[in-house]
């Protein structure tokens, strides 16, 4: 059975922000009946997007901002998760041992879109392995 769900939560963009958002997402996935391995993959990928927003969106800004996580399930057994900030996207040179966040997201998600205008919005679509009953 496919349950439909939606959540949206905003937090101050600091180093403590991703943890409760990851926990909330994991709880949502569990409530939807997603198996533990797929739950872990989705939470890892979204956690990378959250960490990127916290680390990079407001770098160099005098005042911090917020990050938002929004998620909704679809009838086709997929979940769309968006990580949104109002900071500015900074193109960075490659740094050895760094820069794997979006690669991880792209490896796990079926689709990834990054929009940069008034901040950055990373929209990720995940197949949850659920089927209509």
SS3 20: helix
Which residues of the chain, if any, have pLDDT below 70? Answer: 1-3, 60-63, 89-100, 131-133
Which structure tokens are listed for 126?
């995940």
Torsion of CA 23, 5, 8, 68, to 10 degrees: 70
User: Which of these, 107, 127, 133, lies nearest to 45 by C-alpha position?
Assistant: 107
The reported pLDDT for the residue numbered 96 is 52
- Report the length, in residues, of the chain: 133
The reported pLDDT for the residue numbered 68 is 95
Which structure tokens are listed for 42?
């989705």
Between the CA of residue 48 and those of 8, 54, 77, what are the distances in Å? 18, 10, 22
Which structure tokens are listed for 10?
């905003």
The reported pLDDT for the residue numbered 93 is 57
Considering the entire predicted model, what is its pTM? 0.86
Judge contact between 122 and 82, C-beta under 8 A: yes
- Domain at 6-127: CATH architecture: 2-Layer Sandwich (3.30)
The reported pLDDT for the residue numbered 129 is 84
């Amino acid at each position: 059975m496919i349950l439909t769900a939606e959540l949206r939560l905003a937090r101050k963009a600091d180093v403590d922000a991703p943890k409760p958002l990851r926990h909330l997402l994991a709880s949502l996935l569990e409530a939807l009946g997603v198996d533990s391995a797929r739950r872990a993959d989705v939470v890892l990928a979204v956690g990378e997007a959250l960490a990127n927003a916290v680390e990079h969106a407001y770098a160099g800004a005098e005042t911090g901002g917020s990050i938002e996580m929004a998620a909704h399930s679809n009838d086709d057994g997929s979940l769309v998760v968006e990580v949104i900030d109002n900071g500015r996207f900074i193109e960075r040179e490659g740094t050895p041992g760094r820069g794997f966040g979006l690669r991880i997201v792209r490896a796990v998600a079926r689709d990834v879109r990054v929009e940069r205008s008034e901040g950055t919005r990373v929209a990720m679509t995940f197949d949850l392995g659920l089927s209509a009953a």
